[in-house]
Structure 1
Amino acid sequence: MNPLLCALAANPALPPELVDRLLTLALREARADPESQFADDLLHELADRADLRHDQILELASHSDTMARYLAYGGTLDAADVDPGSMPNAAVALLDERRGNLAWARFLATHPDAQIRWKLASCPGLPQDAVDLLAADPDEEVVKELALRTDSPVTARLALHPDPEVRIAAAANPATPLEAVIVLAADPELTLKWTLSEHTDLPQALYARLAAHPNAWVRAAYASNPGIGQELIRVLAADPEIEVRRALAKHPRVPLDLLAELVVGDRAGWNLLPRIAAATPAELTELAGSRHAAVRMLVAQRRDLPPHLREALAVDADASVVRAVAPHPGLSEESLRAMVARHGVQVLAAVAANPDASGPLLEYLTQHRPGVRRVLKEVAEHPHATGPALLACLADRTSRSRAAAHPALPPEAITELLSDEDRQVAEAAAGNPSLPRTVMLELMP
């Protein structure tokens, strides 16, 4: 069997009649050999298609409850298509997605398969009668999952459960009432560590006790918690461990002066920080004028900057700042080319990632010498990439499969890549929507 058929099944341009043929083939193979990995892969690729007819969806769902569950999570199978008796996994999946029939819940809460009950326990919005059944389940793994996931008031009761594992799970659940959490925090039998790190409404004294844990990773878990106050933020800013200070930099209410202290001198590759994302225009202007390039770089990561700040950062003297702002939409081609002229290889990949980069600019970047491999990876996935730019990307091993999947790659190049010695490249070509229809036919058995 042609190993490229699975990739072909994912091709969005595959004609309907070929989808039908592949579905027939996959189901026949699965019936002949229920353990066939090829059949399983082909069925899943077909299940992911957005153009399946309803009868095809039902045919796939009837293959197995596991496939029906996959389709349910994929959004293509509806409650009207599911019988909870023969498709319990699919029924639970729909309840998990809030698209199921709530009347199923009580039946599934008494299902003989504990795995079904365990998964049901994690579903939101279950009727109270089903929740009560799960809270009394003989399998404590089911009860623990309910204590951890449910948004029902039953968490207050589960916080008193005799099994400490269930109580710990209830403590970790943000839906557990605050008074119950405080009682659990004082329970000498429980080792909570980072269990409460998702709670944002705890007393500051409790946060201070939890954040004083000897394990640095536990302290880091609380350092980024939006519930901790300014006094504790200042304490954690002086923590000797870098992972704690880096976590604190991600706190949404860290003071800007303190944030600057945390990032200056730290060579971490920061993503956009919550405090920067929430900064006002006046704060952004002040930060963009910082004497520290690390601070200006944080501002440059915003993708909604006012034009005057965007343009000012685009001509910054520091390459790291320019590299951060280069992918910002709205920059002119003249500005992007000027970045390359000033900073060369230090900004090439960031310029290539700009969504407004034109086809000619992308071609220019692939021809720049010295070159940067990351440029080819960006160009290979860019919607404006041209045929010549993509052909240049094929020369790079790590970019070759990305370029093979790009619809702007010339059809003759796509066809040639079907026989590439790298299977990933060949599969990318088989899934390319610009693959000629005649070639698609040739791949079929």
Structure 2
Amino acid sequence: MLINALVDGLVKNPALPETLVRRLIRWRGGSGGIAGRDDLSAVTVEEIITTGDHRILHTLALNQAMSGEVKLRLARLGDPSVRAALALRSEHGPRELFELLAGDSGKSVKEYLAQNGRVPEDIRARLADDPDPKIRATLAQYWNGAPEQIRRKLLTDPSPEVRAAACSTYFRFLPHPTPPADLVPALLADPLTRAGAARHAVLTPPPHPAHPARPTADPAHAAQPGAGRGRPVRPTAEPGLVAGLVADPDYQVRRELARHPTLPPAARDLLAVDSSAAVQVVLFGREDLPAHLRWAIHEFVERRAANPVDLVSSDLEDDLLEQVIEDNMAIDELRLGSLPWVTADPLPHVTSRYIGFRVAAARAADTLPPEAVRTLLDDEDLDVRRTVLSHAPHLVEPATAEQIEREWSSRRRKVRWRPADSYPFPPESLRHFATDPNPRIRDLAVTDPDLPVPVLTALAADTDPSVRQVVAGHPRLPVEVLLTLLEDDAGHVATAAAASPSLPLPTMEEILNRAGL
């Protein structure tokens, strides 16, 4: 309904007077969004609390502008989802607030508290002894900077779920914690923690060349029946540790081993012909990889990307499915993965045969001589050119930036970021964009704060709703034109118009009257 769209816009309108804000407390067509505003007065907050309405109290609990006193009042309410919201989002507050949340009987409250890095350390540490392994596992995943005694406790937890989370290949925050050296042997012996410990092992070369299982060319059938992460493999004696890790049936173990800073050349070369693209692509980015192996990996991953496994029709076990998904995604890492050693010395790689190396060099464009920058901006690959633009926009001419933006927009990428977000087009370019055939280019014109009124008026009548939506918030748009957008057929355009601070007060009141508020 149009009225819902209009009220949603008013909720976000920064110019909405407090008297109208308080009328919106009674709005039940939304989800209590009015409680998320950062300009709520004490009187308004009190009125919100007395409603007892779950949705609006939950939104208030998520509001970072609330005082510690308000948060403490909310924590004492009987709604567990409100307390869970406080546990997750409270970045400040009295110690009593966090003490209360840490002692909550609700599982979700303590799970969210475990994720919150602003909780006092001693209170957060208590969660490492919580009887629920799910809470301890959550703490292990989110507290990457935990004190060593807490990290040790989690790494040696009796629950497999907790140990796996504490020694994972993925943590919610960087940097990944390094396990204490004396625990690494036991972590390597445990199939659940072996992958997370592999890059921290003290490696000794195998006495004889190791030969990993060579699965079929189809990665969907790469693992042996019954093999996969979390399933036991034959223990390996310390002298044969490298050989055992290279031959491990879990691709995550082999992938993490491929990252090891002191990986022996023999093991490196064996992993370079691993059946998993997700393993090979890690090797691709190593500085110590011989040129012929780098080329072979590049060709393997490119071929793999050209013939991905169909995840919809494939009947794969969970462990193998995870590998296939990562194998399908290896092409992105090949082309866009981080290569710090290339970025640190970019000039030799400006004309590399590998897109990923040229992208890594482009990240350091502002350190390169002008001719090298021109070479990157003339690159045949769009990702190379847009990387220069996003990392060194001051080195890019407007015409080149426009070309990059046009090519990016033409591909209809399903991401919010666009090259123009990194580039300050001059007013003359923006005004030229206003009449462009492509709506994705026309809407850039609105970023000019001094765009002439006739141009704004024309854009407000654009055939594309995305253009009308962005122009609705322009401060120079005539009020009479803004009012026409309130009746737009596209709800998101009407919402944008109602959110404009230029909206007259009588119109705001009229919208509330129409909504029965």
Q: Assess, with a 3 A threshold, how the Cα gap between structure 1 residues 142 and 163 changes in structure 2: closer, same or farther.
A: same
Q: 1:165 aligns with which of 151, 154, 161?
A: 161
Structure 2 residue identity aligned to 1:10: K
Over residues 384-441 of structure 1, what are the superposed CA-to-partner deviations in whole Å (9 max), with x where a residue is unaligned?
6836378189333555534444545554443222212221222122223344445334
Q: Any conservation in 2 of the 1:9–1:431 contact (CA below 8 Å)?
A: yes
Match of 2:424 in 1: 356
> Structure 1 residue 156 and structure 2 residue 155: aligned?
no
Q: 2:182 aligns with which of 156, 164, 179?
A: 179
Deviation, 1:11, is: 1.7
Match of 1:6 in 2: 8
Over residues 259-289 of structure 1, what are the superposed CA-to-partner deviations in whole Å (9 max), with x where a residue is unaligned?
9857799595678643259723xx2233224
Match of 1:120 in 2: 113
Q: Assess, with a 3 A threshold, how the Cα gap between structure 1 residues 129 and 296 changes in structure 2: closer, same or farther.
A: closer
Deviation, 1:243, is: 4.1
Structure 2 CA distance for aligned equivalents of residues 106 and 177 of structure 1: 30
* 3-state SS in 1 of match to 2:393: coil
Structure 1 residue identity aligned to 2:346: L
Match of 1:145 in 2: 138
Which piece of structure 1 moves more, 414-423 or 350-359? 350-359
* 3-state SS in 2 of match to 1:77: coil
- Match runs of 1:93-112 below 5 Å: 93=86, 97=90, 99-112=92-105
Please report the TM-score for the alignment, with normalisation by the length of structure 1: 0.70
Which ranges of structure 1 fall in alignment gaps of 5 or more residues? 30-35
Q: Assess, with a 3 A threshold, how the Cα gap between structure 1 residues 203 and 6 changes in structure 2: closer, same or farther.
A: farther
Match of 2:499 in 1: 431
Structure 2 CA distance for aligned equivalents of residues 398 and 303 of structure 1: 33
Structure 1 residue identity aligned to 2:338: P
Structure 2 residue identity aligned to 1:358: P
Q: Assess, with a 3 A threshold, how the Cα gap between structure 1 residues 70 and 9 changes in structure 2: closer, same or farther.
A: closer
* 3-state SS in 1 of match to 2:94: coil
Structure 1 CA distance for aligned equivalents of residues 263 and 463 of structure 2: 53
- Match runs of 1:182-201 below 5 Å: 182-187=185-190, 190-192=191-193, 196=196, 201=200
Q: Assess, with a 3 A threshold, how the Cα gap between structure 1 residues 402 and 312 changes in structure 2: closer, same or farther.
A: same
Which piece of structure 1 moves more, 261-270 or 298-307? 261-270
Structure 2 CA distance for aligned equivalents of residues 208 and 114 of structure 1: 43
Structure 1 CA distance for aligned equivalents of residues 464 and 343 of structure 2: 40
Deviation, 1:357, is: 0.8
Which piece of structure 1 moves more, 62-71 or 175-184? 62-71
Match of 2:347 in 1: 285
Structure 1 CA distance for aligned equivalents of residues 253 and 379 of structure 2: 37
Q: Assess, with a 3 A threshold, how the Cα gap between structure 1 residues 292 and 167 changes in structure 2: closer, same or farther.
A: closer
* 3-state SS in 1 of match to 2:394: coil
Structure 2 CA distance for aligned equivalents of residues 431 and 395 of structure 1: 21
Q: 1:77 aligns with which of 55, 61, 66?
A: 66
* 3-state SS in 2 of match to 1:279: helix
What is the count of residue pairs matched by the alignment?
Answer: 415
- Match runs of 1:26-425 below 5 Å: 26=25, 28-29=26-27, 36=28, 38-39=29-30, 41=31, 43-44=32-33, 46-61=34-49, 63=51, 70-81=59-70, 82-83=72-73, 84-86=75-77, 89-90=82-83, 93=86, 97=90, 99-124=92-117, 126=120, 128=122, 131-132=125-126, 134-150=127-143, 151-152=146-147, 153-172=149-168, 174=177, 177-187=180-190, 190-192=191-193, 196=196, 201-204=200-203, 213-214=248-249, 218=252, 222=256, 229=263, 231=265, 236-246=271-281, 254=287, 261=295, 273-275=337-339, 279-280=343-344, 283-290=345-352, 295-301=357-363, 304-305=366-367, 308=370, 312-313=374-375, 316=378, 318=380, 320=382, 321-326=384-389, 328-331=392-395, 335-337=397-399, 346=407, 352=420, 355-365=423-433, 367-368=435-436, 371-372=437-438, 374-376=440-442, 379=444, 382=447, 386=451, 388=455, 391=459, 394-407=462-475, 409-425=477-493
* 3-state SS in 1 of match to 2:40: coil
Structure 1 CA distance for aligned equivalents of residues 255 and 448 of structure 2: 39
Q: Assess, with a 3 A threshold, how the Cα gap between structure 1 residues 110 and 315 changes in structure 2: closer, same or farther.
A: closer
Q: Assess, with a 3 A threshold, how the Cα gap between structure 1 residues 263 and 312 changes in structure 2: closer, same or farther.
A: farther
What percent identity do the matched residue pairs reach? 23
Match of 2:214 in 1: none
Q: Any conservation in 1 of the 2:83–2:109 contact (CA below 8 Å)?
A: no
Which piece of structure 1 moves more, 49-58 or 387-396? 387-396
Q: Assess, with a 3 A threshold, how the Cα gap between structure 1 residues 109 and 96 changes in structure 2: closer, same or farther.
A: same
Structure 2 CA distance for aligned equivalents of residues 269 and 158 of structure 1: 33
Q: Assess, with a 3 A threshold, how the Cα gap between structure 1 residues 401 and 102 changes in structure 2: closer, same or farther.
A: same
RMSD between aligned alpha carbons? 4.7
Q: Any conservation in 1 of the 2:102–2:110 contact (CA below 8 Å)?
A: yes
Structure 2 residue identity aligned to 1:85: R
Structure 1 residue identity aligned to 2:441: V
* 3-state SS in 2 of match to 1:330: helix
Structure 2 CA distance for aligned equivalents of residues 213 and 385 of structure 1: 63
Structure 2 CA distance for aligned equivalents of residues 347 and 161 of structure 1: 49
Q: Assess, with a 3 A threshold, how the Cα gap between structure 1 residues 374 and 79 changes in structure 2: closer, same or farther.
A: same
Which piece of structure 1 moves more, 418-427 or 349-358? 349-358
Deviation, 1:305, is: 5.0
Higher relative contact order (CA 8 A, sep 6+): 2
Q: Assess, with a 3 A threshold, how the Cα gap between structure 1 residues 130 and 72 changes in structure 2: closer, same or farther.
A: same
Q: Any conservation in 1 of the 2:336–2:356 contact (CA below 8 Å)?
A: no
Over residues 74-106 of structure 1, what are the superposed CA-to-partner deviations in whole Å (9 max), with x where a residue is unaligned?
421232331443377558836865524345555
Deviation, 1:130, is: 7.0
Q: Assess, with a 3 A threshold, how the Cα gap between structure 1 residues 214 and 200 changes in structure 2: closer, same or farther.
A: closer
Match of 2:511 in 1: 443
Deviation, 1:355, is: 2.3
Please report the TM-score for the alignment, with normalisation by the length of structure 2: 0.62
Q: Any conservation in 2 of the 1:121–1:146 contact (CA below 8 Å)?
A: yes
Structure 2 residue identity aligned to 1:47: A
Deviation, 1:146, is: 4.0
Q: Any conservation in 2 of the 1:380–1:403 contact (CA below 8 Å)?
A: no
